[in-house]
Each structure stands twice: as C-alpha cells, then as structure tokens.
Amino acid sequence: MRSFNSGPAGTLMMLIGVLLAASSTWTAIFRARWPEALPSILIGLSLTAVGYSLFARSRRTRADPPEGES
C-alpha cells in the first residue's frame, strides 16, 4: 500500500471546513434562513472532522514508526 503524508492534507481540509462552516453560519444568521444554509454548515463540519482524522492519523504514524524503520 502506498503511504502519503496526510498531515498537510488534513490541515488543509480542517481549514476549508472551518471556513465553510463559519461563512455559512454567518450567512444563516444575517442574510438567509437556517434551512437554506444548514447543508453547507454540515458539509463544513464534516470536512473539519475528516481533516482532523487525517491530521491525527499522521501524528500517530509519526509517533510510532513501524518495526524495521528508524
């Protein structure tokens, strides 16, 4: 299986997710109705969760190298 560094990818996904959720919440509060903005908020929160998962996985992988590697 090919491995890749998921730390930067996770960080980027978290950043995009937080920005999307925050901007959608701002829009829902001041300019639109909640039912219209709710899907974007949920997508942003989902991106944040997936990004955090990738970021945490890369930290665990870096902390515990596989046997045979130093």
Taking only the tens place, the pLDDT of each residue in 16-46 is 999 999 999 998 888 878 888 899 999 999 9
In a domain, 23, yes or no: yes
Specify the number of domains making up the chain.
1
Number of Cβ within 10 Å of residue 67's Cβ equals 6
Residues 6+ apart with CB under 8 A from 23: 40, 44
In a domain, 1, yes or no: no
In a domain, 70, yes or no: no
Structure confidence at residue 70 as a pLDDT band (50, 70, 90) = low
In a domain, 41, yes or no: yes
Please report the pLDDT score of residue 63 as a whole number: 66
pTM of the model: 0.71
Please report the pLDDT score of residue 51 as a whole number: 86
Report the alpha-carbon distance of residue 70 to residue 66 in Å, rounded: 8
Q: What tokens does 36 get?
A: 């219209």
Predicted confidence (pLDDT) per residue in 49-68, tens digit: 888 888 888 877 766 666 66
In a domain, 67, yes or no: no
Report the alpha-carbon distance of residue 56 to residue 64 in Å, rounded: 12
In a domain, 19, yes or no: yes
Note down the domain range covering 25: 6-61
